[in-house]
Amino acid sequence: MGEKAVSNKMIVLKDYVKGSPKESDMLLKTSAVELRVPDGCHNAVLVKNLYLSCDPYMRTRMHKIEGSYAQSYEPGSPIVGYGVCRVVDSSDPNFKNGDLIWGLTGWEEYSLIKSTEGLFKIEHTDVPLSYYTGILGMPGTTAYCGFYEVCSPKKGDTVFISAASGAVGQLVGQFAKLFGCYVVGSAGSKDKVDLLKNKFCFDDAFNYKEEPDLNAALKRCFPNGIDIYFENVGGKMLDAVLGNMNMKGRIAVCGMISQYNNLEEPEGVKNLLCLVLKRVRMEGFIVVDYYHLYPKYLEMVLPLIKQGKITYVEDVAEGLESAPSALVGLFSGRNVGKQVVVVARE
């Protein structure tokens, strides 16, 4: 260990994952790190990680996958994900010691981020810092661009959101309500359905696990059909939704969590002919194509948070040690609201 070296706990991926991820697919390791940016490493920052974000797309990086927007994780190396961090040392003049940032970091106590490109400086600290893993970070921007840019909403549109109590879903629903849409969400437990109806003020919600017939559930909630589907789950739900879409409907494909544990043999979706019969547009998107809108989004959402017009629910796990369990829990739907891991509070 050099003079400034400290111990650094980290969560590493053991090997590529098949099927449902398990806590044992990850390992807590302790290494050492010098709390400074190495010489010759330009535009880098060494950060202390405060909050880490658990997001469904991370499952796809645990798989050996090609041609995706995200590269596979490297077995033996720390998991990579969004987080909120404090800069400890910097070789980039735009970031200085003490700055708070959010962006992609490692699942460890301290990380050397070798390129500051893609990091966002946190300017507003009169809101909980952890929000920058969610409503004020990647998932919030995803909800914003997915709804306003991809869904092409009109006032009065009927909007259906699956996985609606998750980080993105809860926000899409509230944005859609504020926009003047009729909003229904699905989730996987009674508690989550209550949250959707009572806390996020959705017009209606149902527990997909208790509906013997998803098509019938959608027909009950949308007697006049669905104009917009914000797709987070894929599989059977997508099939049922396709049959209930309205003419010129729009499907923003944000994710397909139901398929992530079975990437080798995903479920077949049968009702795609509805795309033609109803002239439906179905569009996959990812937030990195829309980060130029982040300042505009903050301008909109910060006042809404402060005025209490938007509610945001987090599920907080304490300590880096709890991160594997928190991540794995996403795929059984154990989290209620946005899953965050606290590594350190400051």
In angstroms, rounded to a whole number, what is the distance separating the alpha carbons of residues 240 and 269? Answer: 9
Smaller CB separation from a copy of itself, 31 or 215 = 215
149 binds a copy of itself (CB under 8 A): no
The CB-side HSE value for 124 (13 A sphere, CA atoms) comes to: 15
Q: Of these, 124, 279, 306, 309, which contacts a copy of itself (CB under 8 A)?
A: 279
What DSSP string runs through 92-155? STT--TT-EEEEEEESBSEEEES--TT-EE----SS-GGGGGTTTSHHHHHHHHIIIIIS---T
Q: Of these, 2, 93, 268, 308, which contacts a copy of itself (CB under 8 A)?
A: 268
CA distances from 109 to 10, 28, 30, 48, 192 (A): 7, 11, 10, 6, 32
Q: Of these, 42, 277, 295, 306, which contacts a copy of itself (CB under 8 A)?
A: 277
Per-residue interface string for the shown chain with a copy of itself, residues 65-104, x marking contact by CB under 8 A: x-xxx-----------------------------------
Given the rule CB under 8 A, which of 32-40, 198-206, 249-257, 324-332 is the region that contacts a copy of itself?
249-257
Smaller CB separation from a copy of itself, 144 or 202 = 144
> In this structure, what are the phi and psi dihedrals at residue 273, rounded to the nearest 5 degrees?
-60, -25
Smaller CB separation from a copy of itself, 32 or 216 = 216
Chain positions 52 to 71 lying near a copy of itself, rule: CB under 8 A, are: 60, 65, 67-69
Q: Of these, 234, 323, 337, 338, which contacts a copy of itself (CB under 8 A)?
A: 234
346 binds a copy of itself (CB under 8 A): no
Q: How far is CA 72 from the centre of its chain?
A: 17
Q: How many residues bind a copy of itself (CB under 8 A)?
A: 37
In angstroms, rounded to a whole number, what is the distance separating the alpha carbons of residues 26 and 79? Answer: 9
Residue 182, SS3 per DSSP: strand
304 binds a copy of itself (CB under 8 A): no
Smaller CB separation from a copy of itself, 178 or 275 = 275
In angstroms, rounded to a whole number, what is the distance separating the alpha carbons of residues 199 and 187? Answer: 14
Q: Of these, 274, 305, 327, 330, which contacts a copy of itself (CB under 8 A)?
A: 274
Q: Could you tell me the smallest distance in angstroms from the CB atom of residue 256 to a copy of itself?
A: 5
Interior CA angle at 87 toward 86 and 89, to 5°? Answer: 150
256 binds a copy of itself (CB under 8 A): yes
Residues 6+ apart with CB under 8 A from 271: 239, 242, 243
Encoded amino acid at 287, one letter: V
281 binds a copy of itself (CB under 8 A): yes
Encoded amino acid at 327, one letter: L
Q: Of these, 197, 199, 278, 334, which contacts a copy of itself (CB under 8 A)?
A: 278
Binding site for a copy of itself (CB under 8 A): 60, 65, 67-69, 234, 238, 247, 253-256, 259, 263, 265-286, 289
